[in-house]
Structure 1
Amino acid sequence: MLPHQRQYAQGMFRALVDESSGNEFEKLVHRLMELCHPGYVPIRTHGDIGDLGGDGLCTCHGHLYACYAPETFQVSKVRDKFFGDLESALIQRPEQFDAFVFVHNDQRGIHPVVAGLISEAQRRLPKTQLRQMGPRKLWNEALILDLPRMEQLLGQPIPVSEVRYAVGMADIEPLLKHLADNRPRHVRPADIPLPSTMKADYNRLSPRSQQVFREARPYVYQVEEYYRGLINHTEQDEVAAGFTAYYCQMREEYGDQPDEILWQLEGYVLGQAHARWERADAARVVVTFFFDQCDIFEVPPPGWRRPQSGTS
């Protein structure tokens, strides 16, 4: 799938999640997981036994999925749903799953109540993995789909001709705006210690690409401050997981072209449109932050040294 087609698909998938709730959201999750995982089995409710605590089961991974996407969020109902499904699954499916995954459609991230429920249940059940999966993680699953399967997921054809988009990774738009609006006017790069270029050399990034990181790195602290100030402390991890998933897809497509991968990662943040300079600068700061956090590109193995020039 071409990069602009993937950008288009991401926007359409986000819209589908926004527009779906209840059974429609559950059907969307089933369609996605069946396209991604041959061992995924949708579970329907049957008579007085219900669904035995799960909406879907992935036999290849041992994951049991419980979907919750109400039109209006009520704390008492989500608590009853979570513990009701979990307890039912533990009693009636004890040998069928290793991880219980609570799937939701909240684009802003996991609700504090849900985070608390998962934490509380994990303490009580240390041998059972408890996870949550929201729109970001669902999209990370979809990244592996080829064009025909992506069109099947979305229920519509994806344009073949290139379309320009002003927004790429919608989840990171507030961060981009924050960086573009608050860029310091005067920064002394000499005051900011720069990490070793070994990782850039190991990934064979060109001098021009390394210059992109060098120019952006003095502003990376703003990304750290932004994430520290968020109420939802899982957002950085979820955004990082999205970067990692997209990087892996780009490495598969452009494995021997590291500079092309870097350019595609900038497009992942910005979209495919020609961006204003302040947004382009902000995007490079974001990419540099996740490069330094080792969420994208490969980490040199222990003992690796740069090849000496002139050696074969």
Structure 2
Amino acid sequence: MDALQKHLFQLKFRIAFLESQGKAFEDLFSRIMGHAFAGDFQAVRPYGNKGDLKCDGYRGSDKTVFQCYAPKTTKLDKLQAKVDEDFNGAVAHWGPRMERWSFVHNDDDGLPADVIQQLIDLGQANQSVSLGQMSYPEIFDVTMSLAAPHLEDLFGPAPTQRTLAQLDFEALRPVVMLIQRIDPDENPSLAAPSASKLKANDLSDDAAELLRQGRRRERLVEDFFNQFPNPDFGEEIAQGFRDRYHELKQQGHSADHIFMELQHFAGGMSGTPQHQAAVLAVMSYFFERCDIFEDYVEAEADT
């Protein structure tokens, strides 16, 4: 797995982690753990009126019961009630089969102090069981320890740097043909962004690295538009990117979410590695020309 694949997989994980809720989050966690601890971790599904016995996953090697919690919104009292119910239920159902209990959640800002104290108190009252939690940092480390084939099974194939270097017109043509839009802007911004544009838009390091990788073949995209029979073709596509970007921004999405959505708009990142490499080249081309994301404003540096 090279640097390009690594950053792409890291970005795909972050989006999946932040956007998965409820059962989808539990499924994501179980698939990751199943790859990381093959033959050791077992996903647990509800069965009949017995449910899942307060266990979403079990790792036999250290007798850990995992309990997932990823609601759309939550309140402190409901969260504390959930912790009490799930932990005490697991103690009752699993008994000596459980030596560790892990509360798995998708709040990457961390748990409230009251819940941390609650976990400490539960641990002191049940000293035969070690309590812990897993969220973004822990699940990220487990995920990125996986080999490329496992990551591809989780998030789909990813192009290598070699794939990007071998990109040609034939790979690029269907990508740009898919993203045509009409009514071009009469006064498009042609200013190339500085490196500060990445920070100004709050893009993650992984998104920034994918754009940098795409720049390796950015000239190919420029040549494509210059040689295309319709001289307005590139501007028509640029307007399509602008419209989609502003639509996503008005919806309040994060920068990384917008970045991934624009990748789908450009042709998607679920096809062949060659196709994905073409998408990255197109994304970089329009990013550098300020057709997507905000340009860096010098005055911002002085505030």
**Shorter-normalised TM range:** 0.5 to 0.7
Residue of structure 2 in register with 1:168 after alignment: 205
Residue of structure 2 in register with 1:35 after alignment: 35
Distance in 2 of aligned mates of 1:3 and 1:27 = 27
Q: Tell me the CA shift for residue 75 of structure 1.
A: 1.6
Distance in 2 of aligned mates of 1:61 and 1:94 = 14
Long gaps (5+) in structure 2? 165-197, 208-303
Distance in 2 of aligned mates of 1:148 and 1:97 = 32
Cα distance 1:112–1:169, how it changes in 2: closer, same or farther (>3 A)?
farther
Residue of structure 2 in register with 1:207 after alignment: none
2:1 aligned with 1:25: no
Distance in 2 of aligned mates of 1:2 and 1:24 = 29
Residue of structure 1 in register with 2:142 after alignment: 141
Residue of structure 2 in register with 1:121 after alignment: 122
Q: Tell me the CA shift for residue 61 of structure 1.
A: 2.5
Residue of structure 1 in register with 2:12 after alignment: 12
Cα distance 1:7–1:110, how it changes in 2: closer, same or farther (>3 A)?
farther
Contact in 1 for aligned 2:41/2:59 (Cα 8 Å):
yes
> SS at 2:109's partner residue?
coil
> SS at 1:114's partner residue?
helix
- The CA RMSD over aligned residues, in Å, is 2.2
Residue of structure 2 in register with 1:233 after alignment: none
Residue of structure 1 in register with 2:108 after alignment: 107
Q: Tell me the CA shift for residue 79 of structure 1.
A: 1.6
Q: Tell me the CA shift for residue 98 of structure 1.
A: 1.2
| Cα deviation 1:15-39 (Å, max 9, x = unaligned) | 0011111000000001100010011
Which amino acid in 2 is paired with 1:26? Answer: E
> SS at 2:101's partner residue?
strand
Contact in 2 for aligned 1:110/1:134 (Cα 8 Å):
no
Q: Tell me the CA shift for residue 148 of structure 1.
A: 1.0
Q: Tell me the CA shift for residue 48 of structure 1.
A: 2.0
> SS at 1:94's partner residue?
helix
| Cα deviation 1:33-86 (Å, max 9, x = unaligned) | 001001111111122222111110011222110000000011222122211111
| Cα deviation 1:205-229 (Å, max 9, x = unaligned) | xxxxxxxxxxxxxxxxxxxxxxxxx
| Cα deviation 1:113-171 (Å, max 9, x = unaligned) | 331221121121122100000011001111221111011122x21121278x974379x
Long gaps (5+) in structure 1? 171-312
After superposing on structure 2, the runs of 4+ consecutive aligned residues of structure 1 that deviate more than 6 Å are: none
Aligned length: 169
Which amino acid in 2 is paired with 1:106? Answer: D
Which amino acid in 2 is paired with 1:130? Answer: L
| Cα deviation 1:212-261 (Å, max 9, x = unaligned) | xxxxxxxxxxxxxxxxxxxxxxxxxxxxxxxxxxxxxxxxxxxxxxxxxx
Mark the structure with the bigger radius of gyration: 2
Q: Tell me the CA shift for residue 105 of structure 1.
A: 0.3
Identical aligned residues as a percent: 27
Cα distance 1:123–1:78, how it changes in 2: closer, same or farther (>3 A)?
same
Distance in 1 of aligned mates of 2:105 and 2:122 = 17
Distance in 1 of aligned mates of 2:69 and 2:88 = 16
Residues 35-74 of structure 1 aligned to structure 2 (within 5 Å): 35-38=35-38, 39-74=40-75
Distance in 1 of aligned mates of 2:204 and 2:30 = 28
Residue of structure 2 in register with 1:180 after alignment: none
